[in-house]
Amino acid sequence: MEALKGLCTVVMPEARLREFAFQHAVDLNSDNALLEEQPQRIAAAMETRRRWPVGMTLRVHFLAGERAVQHRVEEIVAEWSQHANVQFVFGAGPEAEIRISFNPNSGSWSYMGTDCSLSQLAGRPTMNLGWLTPTTPLVEYRRVVLHEFGHALGLVHEHLSPAAEIPWDEAKVLNYYRQTNGWDEAYTRSNVLARSKADAYTRFDPHSIMLYPVPRELTLGGFEIPWSNSELSALDKEFIGQIYPFPA
Ligand SMILES: [Zn+2]
């Protein structure tokens, strides 16, 4: 099964790496320890905190992709740096923290924050932008690139807000993630179907770039959340500025 267009996945390191991933996150930024008390038991993205150090320069490397596509991605990503004290540099080589592939069959996904620089993932993509081609409309570039780099900065999906109740067709969701990602039921439940425990949500923001797009193929009654937000919302800008503040 190909990745459904509109669905985005936060990829978590495999189970045997979870404790290591927690330690790696804390080594880089001690604030990451605040949320996790038993890292070996954590199975869901929303219960983890993977923020980079404030002021960090993140290196980005393209593993593939046409130059025209890469260039558009670069231009859009810079926008996060206007609101967050984090810089992105491109053309950094394979040692880069963020490594991007363009596999057309695997949709849009990213690892979250500091998980990207786990040594066990070296040489492998940390983000896939499978829907972008030289002819993709700019608005589509914006919603996909700003969203996926939000994950790379450590943001989770806005739909985890208790306010966003989604009538999932659970059997279809479980089947989808088993086929596309090899996830077992418990893993899919904790990362997709679970109700939020919430990290640092303010209020549900229907304009957030991190709002989870929900394809109707996986819901009951034709429910869908179209991937319509293509700009950073006021709250996105405020929130990322709190996570990565500029010097006063
Ligand atoms: Zn996402």
Q: What pTM value is reported for the model?
A: 0.91
String of DSSP letters for 77-100: HTTHHHHSS-EEEES--TT-SEEE
pLDDT digits over 101-117, tens only?
999 988 899 999 999 99
- Band of residue 163 on the pLDDT scale cut at 50, 70, 90: low
CA 54 to ligand 1 centroid distance, Å: 22
Give the range of the structural domain holding residue 196, as residue numbers without chain letter: 8-243
Neighbours of ion ligand 1 (CB under 5 A): 8
pLDDT digits over 188-247, tens only?
888 888 764 444 445 678 888 988 778 899 999 998 888 778 999 999 999 999 999 999
Contact 222, 12 (CB under 8 A): no
Position 248 in a domain: no
Position 163 in a domain: yes
CA 98 to ligand 1 centroid distance, Å: 16
CA angle 28, 33, 37 (to 5 degrees): 145
Instruction: Give the total number of structural domains in the chain.
Output: 1
Position 173 in a domain: yes
Position 208 in a domain: yes
CA 248 to ligand 1 centroid distance, Å: 31
Structure tokens at 79: 């926008």
Look at residue 153 and tell me whether its pLDDT is greater than 60.
yes
Position 227 in a domain: yes
Q: What pLDDT is stored for residue 161 in this prediction?
A: 61
Using a 10 angstrom Cβ sphere, with 0-12 exposed, 13-18 middle and 19 or more buried, the burial of residue 1 is: exposed
Residue 111's H or E segment, with its range, is: strand 108-111
Position 229 in a domain: yes
In this structure, what CATH number is given to the domain that contains residue 68?
3.40.390.10
Position 1 in a domain: no
Position 2 in a domain: no
